[in-house]
Structure 1
């Protein structure tokens, strides 16, 4: 029989996350970032061990992403039917079992099945923690989401570094170690409240209310349209994120930079994404999510067009990393406020972001075949303009103001912040 969450009201002094659970959640995001980043550097070892072509070896990461999308959608169906701890605990276990299975798989089909299983857990953690952080810290939720997702970036930087240190031929040991490190996180789930948090329509968004006044409910023009544009924004900006990460080295080499500098510049791009999320966290307490996303899209667009100038290109790509960093975590609380009645909205945009990452490679590759590698920043700049257009439409459709200072009432009245 399906377990239903309790319907009784939760005392206002009970936080959604205890402090230790917040730390453990950040560690969990380091791990999912590292897991996603381990597959690529280990491809030479996959090919040698299983006798694979490059395209067949690339299916490992594809299986992981497919599992991730399925995990997001599956655990969204379970969200509200079983407790938060069970969702997160099951996800950690699936990720650990899948990673261990990938390490010891005797053939490639079993390895792909294990990658799919690990991706399933990955999707559950990605969805579950993003969803809970988006509603669990009151007006600080946007800041906490940026900090949480910054830890994903730390893992994404750490994974390839570990492969480079121990060698790709020892990838089974890394995947086994990853599986083992997941298990202690289960102990901290007791610090996560099991009841479903209800997004509050009265939680103030910086810039949407005057001090001492209630925050008005956003004026949503059309729920279906708003959701569709949010999904488009997430697909497009993740496509840019993946496109820069995949094609920056090729573009830089095509305009005269050496392979070593091009690789270093790409590492700096990923580093700036991580740094950008930490830097924007305090800004979310002063400026609204729509304002931050607007500035991010505008800055990203300017930097992409600056990247067409060879002398500026490496620095422009670093700037893209800084500006693109806040969009994913800052957009989720905005979506929750804009469409509080659409419970599955968060799952849709998270799944869409994964799908955008998968589709970006072949779609951009085909466009580059037609136009040449020097047009990479122009192509991505055009997509970035679409992101900016989508953001401006969402601001008009949801009736959000631009910038401002959070009201004292919102700061003092926040009863859900973890102690």
Structure 2
């Protein structure tokens, strides 16, 4: 383990993750306002979210391919600048294509920063507690971003402000190790190691995003007022943020693979309970609490199994992007009219069960021998 980053770099990383979470969640919440502002028809505008996600996926793939050629601090600073430039571009965009292009640039910065900061915190801090705090900062942003959208008559003027704030987070670049890792040899990235982790994370990411995307629709179908449903969605994201702080503290002595399995099992059970109308909103919140530590723990679990941590982790975050993009769409196909095949909570429970099965298979083959929740 390399030396820990400075307090300034650590604080800047936390602040930048709040901005990343805020923008990521706000883009979806702001679509109705953006449709009106840019003259789009109802149901249009998904291209902004798609291009933002594609930018993140592209950055993660490129970072995975070229991590051994570029030092981490340089890549992190470039990611911050891209994110800031994209936010300013979205704020100044006068046409929809320009806004979508700026969103893709923002996504490039998002993907590079998420990958490198997660890897840096997994490698440079002992255990995964700080890694969970980092992701809790992202969760705090996902709560405040949609709330800010609700408070503002239009969201575009806020994007340049976010861009300026992002530039103040440039010291986060020092959180990454100074020297690029050596080029990985073939045996550093065995398919037998990567495949089960990749599948597990793909299913998990689709589950988390699917709950966030479809929870309000399900609650409204049960008769809850829309504003109440939105508050329960915020409670889900708040539970995710809280869980990334609390669960590591109460599972300090457990091996990493066991924490992932237990959390996915509990989340799947909570989603099954969401089929019972009086308990639905509480069950979704409980699922968020249980899902909270899975991604950061999976990152730490994998980085402890291979010397090629940046490349291997790139696969995880690429899988996360793929799952977040495709599986919520599948839930929509399965659970919405005119021919719904499964109710929303059952569709989500099915994905949770698949993620749990993947975690059990991964734990069977690649168990983590030591507890991982230290400082």
Scaled by the length of structure 2, what TM-score is found?
0.91
Aligned to 1:180: 164
Aligned to 2:365: 397
Q: 1:399 to 1:355 in 2, by over 3 A?
A: closer
Aligned to 1:269: 236
Q: Which residue, 237, 262, 268 being the options, matches 1:295?
A: 262
Pairing 1:149–2:135 present: yes
Deviations 1:133-169 (A, max 9, x none): 111113x2x11111100100111111112222222x2
Residues 273 and 321 in structure 1, CA contact (< 8 A), matched pair in contact too = yes
Aligned to 1:37: 25
Pairing 1:242–2:209 present: yes
Residues 253 and 262 in structure 1, CA contact (< 8 A), matched pair in contact too = yes
Residues 143 and 285 in structure 1, CA contact (< 8 A), matched pair in contact too = no
Q: Size of the alignment, in residue pairs?
A: 369
Question: 1: CA distance between counterparts of 2:251 and 2:356?
Answer: 19
Structure 2 unaligned regions, length at least 5: none
Deviations 1:362-411 (A, max 9, x none): 2111111376497111111121111111111111111445x8698xxxx8
Question: 1: CA distance between counterparts of 2:316 and 2:176?
Answer: 24
Residues 84 and 164 in structure 2, CA contact (< 8 A), matched pair in contact too = yes
Structure 1 unaligned regions, length at least 5: 1-11, 199-219, 412-416
Aligned to 1:100: 88
SS of corresponding position for 2:278: coil
Alignment of 1:259-338 (within 5 A): 259-283=226-250, 285-338=252-305
Alignment of 1:80-99 (within 5 A): 80-99=68-87
Structure (1 or 2) with the larger CA radius of gyration: 1
Alignment of 1:212-227 (within 5 A): 223-227=190-194
The offset of 1:197, in angstroms, is 6.7
Residues 92 and 125 in structure 1, CA contact (< 8 A), matched pair in contact too = yes
Deviations 1:48-89 (A, max 9, x none): 232212443121111111000001112223323222211111
Q: 1:253 to 1:373 in 2, by over 3 A?
A: farther
SS of corresponding position for 1:338: coil
Residues 254 and 374 in structure 1, CA contact (< 8 A), matched pair in contact too = no
Question: 2: CA distance between counterparts of 1:375 and 1:148?
Answer: 34
Question: 2: CA distance between counterparts of 1:248 and 1:190?
Answer: 38
SS of corresponding position for 1:340: coil
Question: 1: CA distance between counterparts of 2:307 and 2:251?
Answer: 20
Pairing 1:57–2:45 present: yes
The offset of 1:120, in angstroms, is 0.3
Residues 96 and 182 in structure 1, CA contact (< 8 A), matched pair in contact too = yes
Pairing 1:163–2:149 present: yes
Question: 1: CA distance between counterparts of 2:336 and 2:32?
Answer: 25
The offset of 1:232, in angstroms, is 1.1
Aligned to 1:353: 320
